[in-house]
Amino acid sequence: MRSDPDVFVIGEDVLDPYGGAFKVTKGLSSRYPDRVLTTPISEAGIVGFAAGMALRGYKPVVEIMFGDFVTLIADQLINQVSKMTWMYNEKIDFPMVVRAPMGGRRGYGPTHSQTLERLFLGVPGLVVAAISPVFDPGEIVRRAILEVGQPVFLVENKLLYQEMVLEEEALEERFGFCRSDDVDLLPTVTLSHGDEADVTLIAYGGMVPLVLDAAERLHTEEELDCDVVVPHRLSPLAIEPLIESVRRSRRVVVVEEGVAAWGWGAEVVAALSGIALEAPAERVGAAMSPIPASRRQEQEVLPQIDDVVAAAIRTVDRTFA
Amino acid sequence: MTIVASGSGTASLRGLDGPVVTGADCDNFLRYRDMLLIRRVEETILDLFSEGKVGGTTHTCIGQEANAVGLIGQLQPKRDYVLSNHRNHGHYLAFGGPIDRLLAEIMGYSTGVCGGRGGSQHIKYGHFMSNGVQGGIAPIGVGLAFGEKRAGTGGIVVVCLGDGTLGEGVVYESLNMASLWEVPLLFLVENNRYAQSTPIRLGVKGSLIGRAEPFGIPATEIDTTDVAEIEPWAKKAIRHVREEQMPLWAVIHTYRLAAHSKGDDSRDPEEVQRFAERDPLLVHAKRLDDQRLSAAEAWVDDAVAAALRSAAASEFSATDNQPPVTP
């Protein structure tokens, strides 16, 4: 907001002192009072409103309070925003960011814990991106708003708001990884132990800390060196870095917090199907169930670290349960 | 009154090719000519479909031309914005959109207004935009008007809705936002009494005019197909939005004389006939003598023929490797 006067923040409950349900916008309305707009509870309305502002030359950033509520913006995103420049045959920039926190593990229950970006994957004209702790989230947000130039649906994560960003040194020290980023605006980060890899673990967003822990366990307990590949652009799929790692390891586990069936992982596995693997690709995700509010019951539905570890071991030993 | 034929394939109602009439009683002539042009273009489009020359679907505004000419025709295309719907051709033409590029668009050519990608329902030309998903453009209009107000240009945004559109929730979200943020948005509701095959009594409850009042938005309505009545009413509405920089809900009770799209008209033929007696062209023609009527016919026939020639001369292209044609 400091560097570009056209950036405009729109959302529910975003004004100070409250500063947003997850405090992401805290301080902005005090500093930039004429560029932060608090809105009625009208998710569809405010996304359309943002599209109108984008048409008028602004760079609007819309906050959807809980990722579960993105169901309400489907028509605006799919039938209006994502098609705006293509169907009118205009080669202009149309910068607009809609951001929402996904994820459970806070006991919020069935309609406040979901991971629903899956609904917008594969929508032509819409970039779906996700922040993670292994690449400066502020930089991802900045690029989404100022550089991508087309509509971005940015996936944040409720638990990640409290996590630290893992700098290169931390990744090396704690996990023994060396990090390489590809050159995409919304890059894919590959964390590896060296030239060889036993298993490739692919994950984005809120699952990254869990997958890093799983990789650590696999390294110390199973002597399996995993590549952890973290895309920050989910759709269109950034396949090259995934291919590169899987060609080395020939074993792949894709992890997401959303329901495993019909999810992002399904597309990744399909996209990797041209590579000869040592074992069938594994997908880890939530069970085919709504998410219970009870924390204990929630654990049975959402993916846990054991699930990732087990999936990785299965690629080496198919008899492993 | 002198008439100068323009003869150019790129003619539009804004006389971009120069004035075509001078002298006394121009205004009545121009109103008739403009409505007649819209009528003939719509008929041409329907012919293209029935002759199998184009595919897809279209929704003509036959019978509602006075609304386009009377209200949209009074806007300023460089300053104002029009967000329209599936039944947009009259609005497009009255706002100054070139005829040949509309025809080319419907014919699927790359020289069409949207390179053949949008077709009849999804048009963008300058400050004119349309989308076929009912009500979806309403909140976009609010955002556009909000931005426009901040720019301080005095421009207004007109969002074109129908009676059926009043079923969509996002319209009410838009009323709320427009009032809350005090944007220069004119909600134009053309009540043609039917939503596709459904008469309004089966789809829309309560008062059309009263829908805006709960949001604190003033409302105005008119029940006529006479362009000479619509124009002053529209002028006041537009002035209100422009000068107050506030929203307005404006309802025109009207009737479409052709089918919802192409030939699927299940309405009572007697009812249609009754309304046909109030055809805006018939109503206004009474104000003009035979000489002016034939002059209008001649100009319109030339303009449409030229536009059709110009459109048909384009190469068909189904892909996007053509750069967009600049308006």
- Asked whether residue A31 is assigned to any structural domain, the reply reads yes
pLDDT of residue B316: 52
The 3-state DSSP class for residue A213 equals: helix
Q: Is B66 on the interface with A (CB under 8 A)?
A: no
Partner-chain contact B143 A91, CB within 8 Å: no
Q: Within this chain, do residues A125 and A267 fall inside the same structural domain, yes or no?
A: no
Q: Within this chain, do residues A151 and A182 fall inside the same structural domain, yes or no?
A: no
Angstrom distances, CA of residue B311 to CA of B85, B103, B115, B262, B299:
23, 6, 12, 21, 18
- Asked whether residue A260 is assigned to any structural domain, the reply reads yes
Partners of B92 on chain A (C-beta within 8 Å) are none
Q: Render pLDDT for A26-54 as a digit per residue (tens, 0 to 9).
A: 999 999 999 999 999 999 999 999 999 99
End residue of a domain, out of A103, A130, A162: A162
CATH of the domain at A212: 3.40.50.920
The 3-state DSSP class for residue A63 equals: strand
Q: Render pLDDT for B111-134 as a digit per residue (tens, 0 to 9).
A: 999 999 999 999 999 999 999 999
Q: Within this chain, do residues A67 and A13 fall inside the same structural domain, yes or no?
A: yes
- State the total domains in chain A: 2
ipTM of the predicted structure? 0.95
Task: Report the percent of chain B where pLDDT is more than 90.
Answer: 81
Read off the tokens for B34: 């403009």
Q: Is B312 on the interface with A (CB under 8 A)?
A: no
Summary mean pLDDT of chain A:
96
Read off the tokens for B152: 């301080």
- Asked whether residue A157 is assigned to any structural domain, the reply reads yes
Half-sphere exposure at residue A158, Cβ-oriented, CA atoms within 13 angstroms: 18
- Asked whether residue A321 is assigned to any structural domain, the reply reads no
Q: Which domains are delineated in chain B?
A: 2-312 (3.40.50.970)
> What distance in Å separates the CA atoms of residue B135 and residue B159, rounded to the nearest whole number?
9
- Asked whether residue A2 is assigned to any structural domain, the reply reads no
Q: Within this chain, do residues A14 and A118 fall inside the same structural domain, yes or no?
A: yes
Q: How far is CA A119 from the centre of its chain?
A: 13
Nearest CB to A52 within list B114, B118, B147: B147
CATH of the domain at A19: 3.40.50.970
- Asked whether residue A63 is assigned to any structural domain, the reply reads yes
Read off the tokens for B311: 């459109």
Partner-chain contact A55 B143, CB within 8 Å: yes
Check pLDDT > 50 for residue B19: no
Q: Within this chain, do residues A174 and A107 fall inside the same structural domain, yes or no?
A: no
Q: Is B171 on the interface with A (CB under 8 A)?
A: no
Structural domain boundaries enclosing A182: 168-316
> What distance in Å separates the CA atoms of residue A286 and residue A172, rounded to the nearest whole number?
30
Q: What region, left, alpha or beta, does residue A268 occupy, with left being phi > 0 and alpha being psi -120 to 50 degrees?
A: alpha
Q: Within this chain, do residues A61 and A18 fall inside the same structural domain, yes or no?
A: yes
Partners of B151 on chain A (C-beta within 8 Å) are 56
End residue of a domain, out of A162, A197, A226: A162
Give B109's DSSP letter: B
Q: Within this chain, do residues A193 and A250 fall inside the same structural domain, yes or no?
A: yes
- Asked whether residue A61 is assigned to any structural domain, the reply reads yes
Partners of B136 on chain A (C-beta within 8 Å) are 48, 75-76, 79-80
Angle (deg, nearest 10), helices B26-50 and B99-106: 20
Q: Render pLDDT for A259-311 as a digit per residue (tens, 0 to 9).
A: 999 999 999 999 999 999 999 999 999 999 999 999 999 999 999 999 999 99
Q: Within this chain, do residues A152 and A205 fall inside the same structural domain, yes or no?
A: no
Q: Within this chain, do residues A20 and A143 fall inside the same structural domain, yes or no?
A: yes
Tens digit of each residue's pLDDT, chain A (321 residues)? 999 999 999 999 999 999 999 999 999 999 999 999 999 999 999 999 999 999 999 999 999 999 999 999 999 999 999 999 999 998 889 999 999 999 999 999 999 999 999 999 999 999 999 999 999 999 999 999 999 999 999 999 999 999 999 999 999 999 999 999 999 999 999 999 988 999 999 999 999 999 999 999 999 999 999 999 999 999 999 999 999 999 999 999 999 999 999 999 999 999 999 999 999 999 999 999 999 999 999 999 999 999 999 999 999 998 887
* Residue A38 bridge partners (DSSP): A11
pLDDT of residue B322: 44
Read off the tokens for B31: 């109103």
Q: How far is CA A239 from the centre of its chain?
A: 15
Nearest CB to B324 within list A54, A56, A91: A91
Partner-chain contact B173 A42, CB within 8 Å: yes
Amino acid in the structure at residue B264: D
Q: Within this chain, do residues A269 and A143 fall inside the same structural domain, yes or no?
A: no
- Asked whether residue A44 is assigned to any structural domain, the reply reads yes
Partner-chain contact B140 A55, CB within 8 Å: yes
Q: Within this chain, do residues A37 and A179 fall inside the same structural domain, yes or no?
A: no
Partner-chain contact A86 B117, CB within 8 Å: yes
SS (H, E, C) B8-22: CCCCCCCCCCCCCEE
Q: Within this chain, do residues A298 and A180 fall inside the same structural domain, yes or no?
A: yes
* Residue B109 bridge partners (DSSP): B316
End residue of a domain, out of A162, A193, A220: A162
Nearest CB to A52 within list B124, B140, B173: B140
Nearest CB to B180 within list A40, A48, A83: A40
